A and B are shown apart, each in its own frame.
Chain A
Amino acid sequence: MAGTRFTRDQLTLVALKNMPIVLLVTVFVAFSLLDHRFFDAQTLVNIARQASYVGILAVGMTFVLLTAGIDLSVGAVAYLSAVLVSELLKETPLPLFALPVLMAGIGLLAGLVNGALISFARITPFIVTLAAMGLYRGYALGESQSREANFPAGITDLGNLGIFGVPLPIVIFALVVIVAQVVLSKTAYGRQLYAVGQDPEAATRAGIPTRRIIVSVYVIGGVLAGLAAFVSVIQMGTIVPSFGTGDEFDAIAAAVLGGASLFGGRGTVFPGTVAGTLLVQMIAVGMVFTQVDLYLTPMISAAVIFAAVLLDTARTRQLAKISKRSIRVEIPVPV
């Protein structure tokens, strides 16, 4: 009897493991029923395009969360990189491809500072990145005199530029996701990242370069923040002084919705974080379609996200139950 239960559990396991996607589909169907116009490939394209900015931030955040860290400075870093590059553009014209490189570069430096303070000075990530947030945004606002940061008029064409019909922001987002997921699942670094997040001491004992890995995740977070800024710039054309404020929370929410744990060691970029990001964005878009009273919109979306977290909790519990049970069954050893 144990055997049969085990296989059934296996099935439930598969279903539960893919919960984020299940959720995504459910919400999409729900909105499609509420408003037929929603049921349209273009909607998905828009959702993906609009999710690309926060999505890229969230991918970086996933790396950080995997090490049980947190990065509150990503929004500020994104703004900083955008502002500095636009300032630079005032002085010297730059080739387009240089923009993302420069922004990512600035993000890299910012992330390096965070990482070094956290990993080597061993200060709590929360405080380091909180302070860094003020540091970077303050400096950036000083640079921009808190005016809009402008970019060459044509830049938004990039945002609408399609590669085989797929808008550039989505392409960049997709590339980031693919690379990130491959790194996490197919490289030693990626696997060791999970190990560090689970138990740093044990990781160090096993000979994993824990500290370097911790620095690296904040660097990755910074680089992706810079890249995200670029994605935003090509869609919006200008960067307002409020750009990026509070986005760190959206990123964290997306990652956690996707199953990442704030205590480290658990989470995936795909499907996890991607699903989480798309879910949040889909709700936002759905609200616009259904034209709910603007006062109620945020309440409803909050409620939906809450429900999603609730489901996810139930799922994790179910998973735990199943694994627990499989321990209790003594597996006979065929000889």
Chain B
Amino acid sequence: MNKIWRVLTTGFCLTLVTACGSVGGNATPSSNATSAGGSASAGGGLNINVEAGSLAGKTICFNFQALETEFWAAGKTAISEALTRAGAKVLEFNSNEDANRQLEQIQDCVTQKADGIIFIPQDGASANTVISAANTANVPVVAFNRPPADESGKAIVVVADNRGVAKQTVEYMVTVAQKQMAATGKKLQPLIMVGDLADVNAVDRRSGYFDAMAGHDDLFQKSIEVETKWDATTAQQNLQSAMQANPKVDFVFTSSDFMYPQIQSVLSPLGKWKVSGEDGHVILGGLDGDNRACGLMKTKYVDSTGVQDLLFEAEKSISELTAAIKAGETAPSKKVLDPGFALTLANMDTKQNDMWGCVIEPPK
């Protein structure tokens, strides 16, 4: 008896969830604005020009997939701070690299009658799903920094060209390598620190690297690939082993700037942490263009770094979204491409102020 009773009630409350759900549609208007913009100061002076109050009374959902590198962290704080300055109520979500959770959170946003969504897709595929979810709910949506897999959904897409930027960066490194070869007459031993193979960005950057290296067999030995899983510890350990196995390595590309400290900690004891031009210098390049990379280029340890123009991307995202909301568009569709660029020791003086990493104040 007791058991049956239990089963029934359970079954009931399960179906209840469904039943209520199936009513669907209009939700209760959201009340009491609990602002969660937070940590405005941590933006680190990455000031985006937004028209103050331009989003007054609006609720904007900001969903990011992770904050594990300087790039994402800076981007997140910059955007949510800018949004708050624009007078919007910001709802932050971190999907913690889980596309499924991201979707759930976006739906939670929609539930709260958000006026607009800015999200950093976990990857192209999930971007599609999120966008279509937003479209069906008639909420304008911005996909930040990662492109949706296809054009099926309507969204403002602000993206950098990872593969292209990586290519540009490595191409410069190759020119440096050519000079060195001309001087020494010895082939160089290149090494690439690959990101997490489950992350499309990592794969793109890897492809960009090999695009640039293609057709330079006269110049290089076979590239050594080091797995990092986007994890500093793994990166450091595997690089250490790789360097022991191949002491001759003199050309290193890292798929993300955040790994420079690990690179330094491995190279310096080997006497390979030298500034450009100095004897024993390892040709170094990376991608992101964060604050540390900026510093290392000013001190000439790093030869070149691929920059995604965070300032540009963030500014565009917000302005485009604001415009759409003002115009009352529920499904704006537009693609803004951040060409990005390679900041090299050659073009430092002219271009460094376009690199966000050189603009924000260094993290303490």
Is B truly associated with A?
A: yes
- A-side residues, CB < 8 A to B, are 35, 37-38, 40, 42-43, 46, 49-50, 53, 90, 141, 145-148, 150, 156, 159-160, 232, 235-243, 281, 284-285, 288-289, 291, 294-295, 297
Q: Can you list 23 A-B contacts with CB-CB less than 8 angstroms, sorted by A residue number?
A: A42-B244, A50-B240, A50-B241, A53-B233, A141-B67, A147-B363, A150-B363, A156-B261, A235-B236, A236-B233, A236-B261, A237-B264, A237-B265, A240-B232, A241-B67, A242-B230, A243-B232, A284-B237, A285-B237, A288-B226, A288-B242, A294-B194, A294-B197
Check if A236 sits within 8 Å of B262, measured CB to CB: yes
Residues on the A chain within 8 Å of B197, using CB: 294-295
Which of B43-77 touch A at CB < 8 Å?
67-70, 73, 77
Check if A147 sits within 8 Å of B225, measured CB to CB: no
In the docked arrangement, what's the CA distance between A90 and B265, Å?
A: 22
**Known A-B contacts A50-B240, A159-B265, A294-B225; A238 and B232 likewise in contact (beta carbons under 8 Å):** yes
Residues on the B chain within 8 Å of A242, using CB: 68, 230-232
B39 interface residue per 8 A CB criterion:
yes
In the docked arrangement, what's the CA distance between A141 and B244, Å?
A: 34
Residues on the B chain within 8 Å of A43, using CB: 241, 244
**Known A-B contacts A159-B265, A237-B264; A145 and B39 likewise in contact (beta carbons under 8 Å):** yes
Closest 5 pairs between A and B when the two form their complex, measured CB to CB: A146-B67, A288-B241, A237-B261, A50-B237, A156-B265
Residues on the B chain within 8 Å of A237, using CB: 261-262, 264-265
Which of B64-123 touch A at CB < 8 Å?
67-70, 73, 77
Residues on the B chain within 8 Å of A141, using CB: 67
**Known A-B contacts A53-B233, A232-B233, A235-B236; A146 and B68 likewise in contact (beta carbons under 8 Å):** yes
B238 interface residue per 8 A CB criterion:
yes
Which B residue sits closest to A51, measured CB to CB? B237
B258 interface residue per 8 A CB criterion:
yes
In the docked arrangement, what's the CA distance between A236 and B265, Å?
A: 6
Which A residue sits closest to B364, measured CB to CB? A90
B245 interface residue per 8 A CB criterion:
yes
Partner of A147 from B70, B240, B244 at Cβ < 8 Å: B70
**Known A-B contacts A148-B258, A236-B233; A288 and B265 likewise in contact (beta carbons under 8 Å):** no
Of B68, B77, B197, B232, the most chain A CB neighbours within 10 A belong to B232
Check if B233 sits within 8 Å of A46, measured CB to CB: no
Question: Closest CB-CB distance, A227 to chain B, in whole Å?
Answer: 16
Contact pattern, B 210-231, Cβ under 8 Å of A = 1, otherwise 0: 0000000000000011110011
In the docked arrangement, what's the CA distance between A57 and B242, Å?
A: 25
Residues on the B chain within 8 Å of A38, using CB: 245
Given contact pairs A90-B364, A285-B241, enumerate 4 new A-B contacts (beta carbons under 8 Å): A38-B245, A46-B240, A237-B264, A294-B197
Check if A235 sits within 8 Å of B39, measured CB to CB: no
Question: Closest CB-CB distance, B243 to chain A, in whole Å?
Answer: 9
Of A238, A239, A288, the most chain B CB neighbours within 10 A belong to A288
Of A141, A145, A243, the most chain B CB neighbours within 10 A belong to A145
Check if A46 sits within 8 Å of B194, measured CB to CB: no
In the docked arrangement, what's the CA distance between A266 and B262, Å?
A: 37
